[in-house]
Structure 1
C-alpha cells in the first residue's frame, strides 16, 4: 500500500499562512506607523492623508473608482493577451531557427532599453487616444520576460531525450512538442508572473499619458485637484489588481502544468 505524498488541505493552508504571515505583519506595522505619524505630526491631508482617510474616501467614491478600474483591467487583459501571443510566436520561431535567434534576441534586449516614459507619448501621437496605443505600450513592457523565459526554457531541454526521440524517427516538431515544450513551462510561468505585474503598470501609465477612462487618468485628475487621498485609493486598487492577477497565474499553472509546481523545492 503506497502512501500519498500529496499535502492535505490543512497542511497546504498552514504552509500558505506561514509564507504570507511575515509580509502581512510588516504591512500592518507600516500602516500603523503611517497612521500614527499623520495623527502626531498634523500634516495636511493634501500632502499625506492617513490610511483611515484613504480607505474612507475610497469607499465613498467606490462606484467611480470601480468604473475606472474596470477600464484599466480591460486594457490590461487585452494588451497582455496580445503580448502573450507575440511572446509565444517569437519564441517558437527563434527556437526553430538558430539564425533568427542570433538576429532577433539582441533586438529583444534593445527593446527593453527604450524608456516607456518616452515611448508612450509617441504611441499616442502616432495612433491616437484609442485602445491600440495602450495595447502597444503593454506589449512593449511585457513581451520581453515571457519571450526570453520561453527561449531559455526551450534551450534548457534535455539533449539526450531529444537525441533519443530523433533516433527513433521523431521529427523536429515532435521533439519540440514532447521534449522542449514541457521543459520550458516552469520558466514560462515564472516569466508570466513578472509580465502580468508589468502589464498593470503599463496600462496605468498609458492611461496617464492619454485616456478618457482608467485608473491612470483618474489618478492624474485627482492629483490635479490635490485629492491625494483618492490618488492613494486608486493606487491601492491598482495594487489589488496586480496581486490578484499574480495569484491567478498560480491557479492557471496548477491546472495547465501541476507537475511544474511539484518540482519546486519546499518552502
Structure 2
C-alpha cells in the first residue's frame, strides 16, 4: 500500500495546474496593509516634502508673510475658529455631493441613450463638447440671475463641471463590449434589457468609476466657482472674503480644506470601486492565481 504525503499532494496539484499559471495563497491582512503602505508612502513623502519646503520658505522669510503664510499660521486659522470652517465646509460639501449625484445620474442616463440611439448621439455629442469648452465662471452669473442666490446656482455649476467626464466614460464603457458577447447573448435569446443589465452595464463599470473619480474633484471646483459668483456661505465665500481682507492664512486654509474635501470624495468613490469591482484588472492583487 502506497501512502501519499501532503507534500506529494501539493506536488501533484502543482503538476496538474495548467501551464503558465501558478497558484498562490490569498494575501492576509498583514500583506494587504504592507501593500497599502507601499502604495501610499510615495505621495505621503511628497506631501511632507512640500510642507517642509513651504515651512522653510516662510521661516527664512524669503517671501513676505502677507503673501504666503506659514503652515503653522494656516493650520492655526482653522484650529482657532473650527466652527466657522466647519459651517462653510458643510455648505460646500452638501452642494458638491448633491451636484455630483445629479451629474452621475444624468450622465449615465445620457450615455445609455446615446449608445442605443445613433441619431441622439450625433445630435447631442457636439452640444456636450460645446458646453464643456465654455468657461463655467463666465456663465455662473447667469444662473444667479435665473435661480437667485440660494443653492441652485452652485449645484447647477457643480453638475455642469462633473457631468462631462461621467457621460464620456460611460459611453466609452458601453461601447467597449466585445461584439461576440452581444451576438452570443442574442443567439441565446436574451432580451435587450437582459443584455444591458447582464453584459453591457457590468462591463462598463470600470470606465464609469474612472469618470466618477474625475467628476468627484470637478464637482468641488464647480460648487466653489458657484460660490464665487454669489453666496453668503461656503468655502468659496470664505476664500473671497479672506482675499478681500488680505487675510492670507484664512485664504490658504480655505484652499486647503477645499482640497481635502475633493480628496475625501475621491477616496470614497475609489473605495466604492474597490468594494463593487473586486474583479477589475486594477484590483487583482487579491487573485488566487497569476499568469507567468
Quickly name the TM-score band, shorter chain normalised: over 0.9
1:46 to 51, 66, 80: 66
Q: How far apart, CA to CA, are the structure 2 residues paired with 1:263 and 1:32?
A: 33
Report how far residue 135 of structure 1 moved.
1.4
The gaps in structure 1 that reach 5 residues or longer are: none
Q: How far apart, CA to CA, are the structure 1 residues paired with 2:275 and 2:45?
A: 31
1:222 equivalent in structure 2? 242
Question: 1:129-148 alignment to 2 at 5 Å?
Answer: 129-148=149-168
Q: How far apart, CA to CA, are the structure 2 residues paired with 1:197 and 1:43?
A: 30
Check whether the contact 1:76–1:138 (CA below 8 A) recurs between aligned residues. Answer: yes
More deviation, 38-47/179-188: 38-47
The secondary structure found in structure 2 opposite 1:49 is: coil
1:117 equivalent in structure 2? 137
Q: How far apart, CA to CA, are the structure 2 residues paired with 1:167 and 1:33?
A: 63
The gaps in structure 2 that reach 5 residues or longer are: 1-9, 14-22, 286-292
1:256 equivalent in structure 2? 276
Q: How far apart, CA to CA, are the structure 2 residues paired with 1:28 and 1:105?
A: 43
- Find out whether 1:234 has 2:254 as its counterpart: yes
Report how far residue 10 of structure 1 moved.
1.5
The secondary structure found in structure 1 opposite 2:60 is: helix
Check whether the contact 2:54–2:70 (CA below 8 A) recurs between aligned residues. Answer: yes
RMSD (Å), alpha carbons: 1.7
Report how far residue 33 of structure 1 moved.
1.6
Q: How far apart, CA to CA, are the structure 1 residues paired with 2:50 and 2:105?
A: 39
Question: 1:52-131 alignment to 2 at 5 Å?
Answer: 52-131=72-151
Q: Deviations over 1:33-65 (max 9, x none)?
A: 221111212643221111111111221021101
2:214 to 170, 190, 194: 194
Report how far residue 100 of structure 1 moved.
1.0
Give the structure with higher Rg (CA): 2
1:157 equivalent in structure 2? 177
Report how far residue 253 of structure 1 moved.
1.5
The secondary structure found in structure 1 opposite 2:133 is: coil
Q: Give the aligned length.
A: 265
Q: What TM-score, normalized by structure 1, do the two folds share? A: 0.94
